[in-house]
Structure 1
């Protein structure tokens, strides 16, 4: 897909602040330092649309990005960052839960996980939560350039086992450095838009 338009539409903390239209949305969920902003920027070939930060836990709102007026990426606050107060983490949890369970525009969730490390308890819990809600999902394995290709099969098998997946078909290695994996992810998005 050729991205000709990409903009941050709004940052929201409650449903009355969400965009009020029928454009479909793809949520991006993952741990605080997994690379969600880098994923967005690489997918749209824009360096600084989604702000990346050296300090995990910076995204504290639901950020809605309009892509080609065809769909939106929705960057949800990262989970699992220890230096944020527990009360704040709890309020993010409620905000994410409300968005994922009630938003009618939401058609797909990309769960971002770090390819270098086994899924965390929070990664597994998020995957199970999305399954309970019966939302289609794919798992983007970020930082794939940090793993030798000869090691990929072993890492994919580990994710399949730890996430209790029937196959590796829902696992998509991705590199924000090289863009590897982006073509396949765009195919999934295009199929969803055209469905």
Structure 2
């Protein structure tokens, strides 16, 4: 659900997004997991944390994809990964992947992990 936290709509409509998303996620029999896309440069948003917690509550496996890996210095990668994981309360059974569309980092790994989830 790209940009659900950034929709420029009133609060009532945003609330309906939450209800719709809740119904979709709970009632999808074929749902194998959730890909949560976060910006590698920043602490996850409140919405990111809520989505992660929601998935964990319903025992939905999560692949966290940290985008814009190319915008960080090499020595900031581990530090920012820790911030993201700590903020989310990251479950060691979930998957964390670095991603950069610019440098083509992580593309194959993301698809590989998605396909592994589909096979379960």
Is TM-score (shorter-chain normalized) higher than 0.5?
yes
Q: Distance in 1 between matches of 2:36 and 2:91?
A: 17
Q: 2:104 aligns with which of 179, 187, 191?
A: 179
Contact preservation (8 Å) 1:111, 1:139: yes
- Please state whether the residue corresponding to 1:80 is helix, strand or coil: helix
- Aligned partner of 2:52 in structure 1 is 127
* Structure 1: stretches of 5+ with no match in the other structure: 1-75
- Aligned partner of 1:40 in structure 2 is none
Please list, as runs of the form range in 1=range in 2, the aligned pairs for 1:70-81 lying within 5 A after superposition.
76=1, 78-81=3-6
* Structure 2: stretches of 5+ with no match in the other structure: none
Q: TM-score, normalised by structure 1?
A: 0.56
* Structure with the bigger percentage of strand: 1
Q: Distance in 1 between matches of 2:94 and 2:2?
A: 26
Contact preservation (8 Å) 2:61, 2:94: no
- Please state whether the residue corresponding to 2:104 is helix, strand or coil: coil
- Per-residue CA deviations over 1:100-125 (Å, capped at 9, x if unaligned) read 11111111100111111001111111
User: Shift in Å at residue 168 of structure 1?
Assistant: 9.4
Matching of residue 118 in structure 1 with residue 54 in structure 2: no
The Cα RMSD (Å) is 2.0
- Please state whether the residue corresponding to 2:6 is helix, strand or coil: coil
Could you tell which deviates more after superposition, 103-112 or 181-190?
Answer: 181-190
Q: State which structure, 1 or 2, has the greater radius of gyration over its C-alpha atoms.
A: 1
- Give the aligned length: 120
Contact preservation (8 Å) 1:140, 1:174: yes
Q: TM-score, normalised by structure 2?
A: 0.87
Pair 122,192 (structure 1): closer, same or farther in 2 beyond 3 Å = closer
